[in-house]
Amino acid sequence: MNYPFPTLSPEEAAAMVQDKQTVGFGGFTAAGACKVVPLAIAAKAKAEHAAGRPFKLGVITGASTGKSLDGALAEAEAIAWRTPYQSDPTLRKSINEGRTQFFDLHLSAVQPTVRSGVFGKMDFAIIEASHVTAQGEIVLTTGVGGANTFARLADKIIIELNAHHPGDLMGFHDLYEPADPPLRRAIPIYSPTDRIGTTFIKVNPKKIAGVVMTNLADESGGFDAPDPITTQIGQNVAGFLANEIKTGRIPPSFLPLQSGVGNIANAVIGALGSHPDIPPFMMYTEVLQDSVVDLLESGKCAFASSCSLTLSPDRLKAFYANLEYYRSRVVLRPQEISNSPEIVRRLGLITINTAIEVDLFGNVNSTHVMGRDLMNGIGGSGDFTRNAHVSIYTCPSVAKKGAISTIVPFVTHLDHSEHSVQVVVTEHGVADLRGKSPHERAEVMINNCVHPDYRESLRGYLAASNRGHVQQTLHNAFGMHLAFLEGGDMRNVKWKV
């Protein structure tokens, strides 16, 4: 290769990284996440630990990653602290057992927080690229995350140059880094299609410590086929939005959509795509999943702005086979732009995210089980929800085969407050909380969203307190959670009078 920087083996790259250093990894979800250098760092960590020496890093990513990054490093006990969103089972366990310190952040806040210096200096940026030039121009792959900021600020950059991605991905990215306070100006995006930045990262080539050659697919899993529950949730969301157009609360041309990750999100997008009264729409979102690509192909989705292409391996192959078709229909942005509160508010997004639990009054817990154990993190849900034109939360009405109601008297962890959450959707129906008092919200939640097994119980909860603006009874507020923790089933709850 004709670069002024060395070609390294993964082990040579890992040898440069020292105990207690801070590393920023490019990519967003498994899309564009590094695959071989973190594995080699994990092996180095294990060897250091075996020799009785400490080796733990501070790890900053865009969002979740693949198993060769978070999974391997967590398994090697190589992560001292980590931010933001993660979804790896081994890392989750390490966080919940207190072996890794985890600091959750809104994804739009990661790059500004790194720039502010809160995390100290960044020693290495480790970034997957599809192309790099001798002048220090780096073309990213399927995920951007915070790569542009990490590359600019890090002392040294290691590049995983991945031949799995076509060299002509150049043009899909739009990289823009806003100024910080007090010099911050408007970010000039007025439509999801606007381009405001560069198609590559430009760094001082002297900072590039080396390039590691790879040829590996992203470690994105596929998706489950929609089941009756997720299909019904999708149809309920689509029916609600079609009615919003009919009533004139959403313009006939529709508004750009954001949709979270996972099987429900995939089913919701599928249902919107096939609903006859939803017109062709644009996405302004952070993660582009398989279902959106289907709609881009059919024309129902006219354009998608995202931070990553989180596609199953087969879908990505088909995307690359038709690259020219997608060139004018897809743009990939850094997360502080894809998730920018300013742009979400300006464009008037319809946002659809998934809750772990919702309370009768509209507060949402997206992150912690029984108030204690971290699931994944807040991700972009707060960026979008708080600033949405219409914010929607979806979840199945029960979890763990019915032993848990996802609608509870009081959430055990609060991520999105009743002031930001407008609409809740389960397989049973839609609770439109807008313009309703807490008493009215509780009523519509029970009637429209709660599983029939829990309706009487939750009515009983409200009956125990008919005083106050919010019908909470503090000694009963976590009664359903306690019934689950003590007897394995929320249906066993007995309200104290």
Stretch that binds ligand 0RQ, among 41-49, 109-117, 202-210, 262-270 (CB under 6 A): 262-270
CA–CA gap between residue 452 and residue 456 (Å, rounded): 8
Query: Residue 318: how many CB atoms within 10 A of its CB?
Result: 14
Among 404, 446, 462, 480, binds ligand 0RQ (CB under 6 A): 404
Among 169, 237, 356, 445, binds ligand 0RQ (CB under 6 A): 356
Among 178, 379, 438, 479, binds ligand 0RQ (CB under 6 A): 379
Among 21, 22, 354, 397, binds ligand 0RQ (CB under 6 A): 354
Q: Which long-range contacts (CB under 8 A, 24 or more apart) does 223-231 make?
A: 223/262, 223/263, 223/266, 223/289, 223/290, 223/312, 224/263, 226/263, 226/266, 226/267, 226/270, 227/263, 228/427, 229/396, 229/427, 230/263, 230/264, 230/266, 230/267, 230/396, 231/267, 231/271
**160 belongs to the binding site for ligand 0RQ (CB under 6 A):** no
**378 belongs to the binding site for ligand 0RQ (CB under 6 A):** yes
Residues in the interface with ligand 0RQ (CB under 6 A) total 29
Among 287, 331, 360, 483, binds ligand 0RQ (CB under 6 A): 287
Stretch that binds ligand 0RQ, among 19-27, 95-103, 158-166, 399-407 (CB under 6 A): 399-407
Give, in order, the Cα–Cα distances in Å from 349 to each of 116, 274, 338, 383.
Answer: 28, 20, 12, 11
Using the minimum distance from each CB to ligand 0RQ, give the nearer residue, 349 or 404.
404
**357 belongs to the binding site for ligand 0RQ (CB under 6 A):** yes
Contact 256, 284 (CB under 8 A): yes
Among 85, 361, 410, 454, binds ligand 0RQ (CB under 6 A): 85
The nearest distance, CB 440 to ligand 0RQ, in angstroms, is 24
The nearest distance, CB 225 to ligand 0RQ, in angstroms, is 14
Stretch that binds ligand 0RQ, among 161-169, 192-200, 348-356, 441-449 (CB under 6 A): 348-356
Rounded to the nearest 10 degrees, the angle between the axes of helix 263-274 and helix 290-298 is 20
Give, in order, the Cα–Cα distances in Å from 260 to each of 269, 292, 481.
Answer: 10, 12, 26
Residue nearest to ligand 0RQ (CB): 379
Residues belonging to the active site: 286
The nearest distance, CB 231 to ligand 0RQ, in angstroms, is 14
Residues in contact with ligand 0RQ by CB under 6 A are 29, 63, 85, 107, 260-264, 286-287, 353-357, 366, 369, 375-376, 378-381, 396, 399-400, 404, 406
